[in-house]
Chains A and B, each alone.
Chain A
Amino acid sequence: MMAKAGAGHRGQSCYLAPVRIEDWPDEWQEWVALTPMERFRESEKIFAQYIALGGSLDPDPDPTSPFDNPSEWNSNAAHGRAGLRVLRRGAS
């Protein structure tokens, strides 16, 4: 989970939707207007909320990453989805 500024893909394109910062959504405009330290503090709050809601700290599956190895990393993930946790494993 790393929310990115203005991230968005157009078709197979690898780069952002071609917009200037001035065209980014209001939430991101406000984010960019913060000081670095303010961003860090806000990020801590978002992270705490994420954890409080049961968010996983396992890496998101990413087949484009050289470190992608779900069997090694996501021992607690259900069906390879980092946001789901296994509460009980059946026989399958």
Chain B
Amino acid sequence: MGGQACVFYGAAQVSKDVDFLILAEEANFKKLHAALDTLAATRIAVPAFDPDVLARGHAVHFRCSAPGVGGLRIDIMSRLRDLACFDELWMRRTVIGDADGNEFHLLSVPDLVQAKKTQRAKDWPVIEALVSIHFRENAATPQAQWVDFWLSEARSPELLVDLTARFPAQTAGVLVSRPLLALALAGNLPDLRAALDAEVRAEQDKDRLYWEPLKREMDAFRRAEREEEARHGAGN
């Protein structure tokens, strides 16, 4: 769902880890445990691998040591901020297959864009690339839902100016939820850039707020693990 999906979609050339969004069901966890065993994956950071913890929005981090994947990091989540439940995300996923019959199931581009709206500075250029590439690949046959997506999520001022000029009727519909489109319609690039920056900062603030209790919980997990290690050490 993360960097590897961005590779498939063209917004990145390589990623150092693999992020998985999983269905948090008991049967699925059994399969996941088996897969992690095959990869000789061990947890490398808090929190512990616990369905309840995942359901609260945490990510669980593993490092593999099986031959061929030594050192590879895997992050697992079952819930993403402001995204639909797994079933909905799965319904609208992108599936890419190769000649050998392997299938790669990716978050759809719109869902991946939502998932990338984080407090991390590095995610925002990726969003811009994802939308720009999606526009380039679909501009010749623009479906209404794609036009709404581009107008709602494009981050390049020039692309927004192009889009609002090309799709004025749809722009009027999206304008209520994204007022900065008025600046694009007017071709006011300096104010549009400032408005795009403000949009990023607002979304980053939302993400920080979302993570605040989770970060406190992670600190508590770390303290508990240190205490447990100390007790274990004292017992030896």
Instruction: Point out residues on A near B: beta carbons under 8 Å.
Output: 1-8, 12-16, 18-21, 31-32, 34, 36-37, 39-40, 42-43, 46-47, 50-51, 57, 59, 62, 64-67, 69, 72-73
A59 — which chain B residues lie within 8 A by C-beta?
A: 16-17, 73
A16 — which chain B residues lie within 8 A by C-beta?
A: 124-125, 128-129, 155-156
Complex CA–CA separation, A1 to B4 (angstroms): 12
- Chain B proximity of A40: nearest CB distance (Å): 6
In the complex, residue of chain A having the shortest beta-carbon distance to the beta carbon of B162: A20
User: Quick one: which of B77-101 are within 8 Å of A by CB?
Assistant: 96-98
A21 — which chain B residues lie within 8 A by C-beta?
A: 132-133, 136
In the complex, are the beta carbons of B46 and A39 less than 8 A apart? no
Q: Out of A14, A40, A73, name the residue touching B7 (CB < 8 Å).
A: A40
New contact pairs (11) apart from A16-B155, A40-B96, CB-CB < 8 Å = A1-B14, A2-B6, A2-B122, A14-B197, A15-B156, A20-B132, A36-B8, A43-B13, A47-B14, A50-B14, A59-B17
What are 15 A-B residue pairs whose CB atoms fall within 8 Å in the complex? A2-B16, A6-B129, A15-B156, A18-B189, A31-B10, A31-B13, A32-B133, A36-B96, A39-B8, A42-B13, A57-B71, A59-B17, A65-B118, A65-B119, A67-B61
Complex CA–CA separation, A76 to B125 (angstroms): 29
B120 CB–A CB distance under 8 Å: yes
Q: Given A66-B119, A66-B215, verify A37-B158 contact (CB < 8 Å).
A: no
- Chain B proximity of A46: nearest CB distance (Å): 5
Q: Given A13-B193, A20-B158, A72-B46, verify A2-B200 contact (CB < 8 Å).
A: no
In the complex, are the beta carbons of B197 and A15 less than 8 A apart? yes
Interface size class of B (residues with CB under 8 A): 35 or more
In the complex, are the beta carbons of A18 and B45 less than 8 A apart? no
A65 — which chain B residues lie within 8 A by C-beta?
A: 118-120
In the complex, are the beta carbons of B3 and A2 less than 8 A apart? yes
User: Quick one: which of B100-156 are within 8 Å of A by CB?
Assistant: 104, 118-122, 124-126, 128-129, 132-133, 136, 155-156
In the complex, are the beta carbons of A43 and B132 less than 8 A apart? no
B29 — which chain A residues lie within 8 A by C-beta?
A: none
In the complex, are the beta carbons of B8 and A19 less than 8 A apart? no
In the complex, are the beta carbons of A39 and B10 less than 8 A apart? yes
B20 CB–A CB distance under 8 Å: no
Complex CA–CA separation, A47 to B121 (angstroms): 23
Complex CA–CA separation, A46 to B71 (angstroms): 16
B40 CB–A CB distance under 8 Å: no
Complex CA–CA separation, A34 to B63 (angstroms): 30
A36 — which chain B residues lie within 8 A by C-beta?
A: 8-10, 96
B211 CB–A CB distance under 8 Å: yes
In the complex, residue of chain A having the shortest beta-carbon distance to the beta carbon of B215: A66
B72 CB–A CB distance under 8 Å: yes
